[in-house]
A and B are shown apart, each in its own frame.
Chain A
Amino acid sequence: DAGVIQSPRHEVTEMGQEVTLRCKPISGHNSLFWYRQTMMRGLELLIYFNNNVPIDDSGMPEDRFSAKMPNASFSTLKIQPSEPRDSAVYFCASSRTGGSNQPQHFGDGTRLSIL
Chain B
Amino acid sequence: GIQVEQSPPDLILQEGANSTLRCNFSDSVNNLQWFHQNPWGQLINLFYIPSGTKQNGRLSATTVATERYSLLYISSSQTTDSGVYFCAVRLAGGFKTIFGAGTRLFVKA
- What is A's interface to B at a CB cutoff of 8 Å? 31, 33, 42-45, 48, 50, 55-56, 89, 91, 99-106, 108-109, 111
Contact = CB atoms under 8 A, between A and B. Distances in A.
Given A101-B30, A105-B45, A48 B95 contact: yes
A94 to B, nearest CB: 12
B57 interface: no
Interface residues of B, number: 24
Contacts, number: 54
24 contacts: A42-B102, A43-B88, A43-B99, A44-B99, A45-B98, A48-B95, A48-B96, A50-B95, A56-B95, A99-B93, A100-B30, A100-B90, A100-B91, A100-B94, A101-B30, A103-B48, A104-B33, A104-B45, A104-B97, A105-B45, A106-B35, A106-B42, A108-B41, A109-B42
